[in-house]
Amino acid sequence: MSLTARPVDSLEALLSTRPDLLEPHRRYYARVFEDDVAPADLLELGRLCVATVHGCDAELAIRCPGAGVSDAQVAALPRWREADCYTDLQRAALALAEKMPFRHKEVTEEDVAPLREALGEPRTVGLFVALGLFDATCRLRLVFGVEPRSRILDRPAAVEEPLP
């Protein structure tokens, strides 16, 4: 017994019985990955960091090589603080992403300042919004038991593409 009557291996499949919700969700989720929201490498590292904290295999199975994140950087995510393969800006984004699932009350000015200085206010806000959505998406995938399916994509979501 599960929450859906059929196995699902994507958000597209999960939400397929509610096209009225799927379409606007796809538009919103796809917009998160535009460059004016936040740099692609920070979004990709943030998405995978949040998924690592949650242990969300369905999210981790989605990879976007074009985001500018190396395989070594992905592999090092569970111990990113000890790794030397990230830039200072990427480390600032990871510090924030790591707190988003369960330690959101612990975010301080020290977390935000380096992001604001490097990205400016609009893209810093964009990164926060994206990380909040990544946390929410992992929760949805986990509770509904979305099955992991390896996907190599240009980006994690696009308006014209099914939601992975």
Partner 1 sequence: MSTRPLASSAIPGEAPDIQNVLAHQPELRDLFNELYAIVWSRGLVEHRTKEISRLRNARITGCGFCVNVRFERDGEKISESDAACVVDGYEGKGLDEREIAGLRLTDALIGDPQKVDPGLARLVCEQFSEEEILELALCVILGIATEKVLITLGLEPEPGTMATTVLPTPGSVATGA
Binds partner 1 by CB under 8 A, chosen from 79, 88, 108, 160:
108
Distance (Å, whole) CA 134 – CA 59: 9
Q: Which is nearer to partner 1, 73 or 130 (CB)?
A: 130
Interface region with partner 1, contact rule CB under 8 A, candidates 27-35, 40-48, 60-68, 82-90? 27-35
- Give Cβ neighbours of residue 135 (< 8 Å, ≥ 6 apart): 50, 54, 100, 101
Residue with tokens 């994140």: 69
Q: What is the x/- site pattern for partner 1, positions 39-58, by CB under 8 A?
A: ---------------x----
Distance (Å, whole) CA 25 – CA 81: 33
Distance (Å, whole) CA 63 – CA 152: 5
Which chain residues interact with partner 1 by CB under 8 A? 1-5, 14-15, 17-18, 20-21, 24-25, 27-28, 31-32, 37, 54, 96, 99-100, 102, 104-109, 112, 116, 121-122, 124-126, 128-129, 131-133, 135-140, 142-145
